[in-house]
């Protein structure tokens, strides 16, 4: 391993060990990060949902691949709801910070439903996938209703 690779690996290890707030140099960076994570998650969940709703043809491998990515993405946004990121280019409501335990529970619910969808997608069974897509959609909507400005 050359020195640059060693330095990069050391830096990557250090970065993942940092507390959440320290991952972002500025509040705008955290806002951009979480929006990006939600956007990518929605794109990949949306492909599975489109199959479940008959808008695009069912392709079991594509469903499984997209569900896997959506599941990974579902883990990312929430470290970026740090203090001071309620202002700026964001539709995040103040309730996220005022009732943070409830927000975290709602986030966790979405992550659980997404993990179930991931498992369902691996079965290749459309009925199972359809039910799981519905549950994920509900969990997305619950947070939008309570914690996102229109």
Asked if residue 37 binds ligand ASC (CB under 6 A), the reply is no
Q: Which of 49, 96, 114, 132 binds ligand ASC (CB under 6 A)?
A: 49
State how far the Cα of 147 lies from the Cα of 123, in Å rounded to an integer.
33
Q: What is the DSSP string of 68-124?
A: HHHHHHHTSGGGG--TT-SSSS--B-THHHHTHHHHHHHHHHHHHHHHHHHHHHHHT
The smaller minimum CB distance to ligand ASC, of residues 31 and 49, is found at 49
Asked if residue 137 binds ligand ASC (CB under 6 A), the reply is yes
Q: Interacting stretch for ligand ASC, rule CB under 6 A, among 11-19, 45-53, 66-74, 112-120?
A: 45-53
Residue 148 pairs in a beta bridge with 92
In the complex, minimum distance from the CB of residue 50 to ligand ASC, in angstroms, rounded to a whole number: 9
Dihedral sign for Cα atoms in the order 69, 36, 76, 126: negative
State how far the Cα of 25 lies from the Cα of 71, in Å rounded to an integer.
26
Asked if residue 140 binds ligand ASC (CB under 6 A), the reply is yes
Q: Which of 31, 37, 45, 51 binds ligand ASC (CB under 6 A)?
A: 45
Q: Which residues of this chain interact with ligand ASC, rule CB under 6 A?
A: 42, 45-46, 49, 137, 140-141
């Amino acid at each position: 391993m050359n020195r640059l690779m060693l330095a990069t690996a050391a830096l990557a290890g250090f970065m993942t060990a940092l507390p959440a707030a320290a991952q972002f140099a500025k509040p705008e960076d955290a806002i951009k990060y979480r929006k990006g994570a939600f956007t990518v998650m929605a794109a990949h969940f949306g492909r599975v949902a489109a199959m479940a709703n008959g808008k695009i043809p069912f392709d079991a491998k594509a469903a499984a691949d997209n569900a896997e990515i959506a599941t990974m993405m579902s883990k990312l946004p929430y470290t970026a709801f740090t203090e001071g990121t309620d202002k700026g280019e964001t539709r995040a409501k103040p309730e996220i910070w005022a009732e943070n335990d409830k927000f975290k529970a709602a986030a966790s619910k979405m992550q659980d439903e997404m993990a179930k969808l991931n498992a369902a997608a691996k079965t290749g069974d459309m009925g199972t996938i359809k039910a799981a897509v519905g549950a994920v959609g509900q969990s997305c909507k619950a947070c939008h209703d309570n914690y996102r400005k229109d």
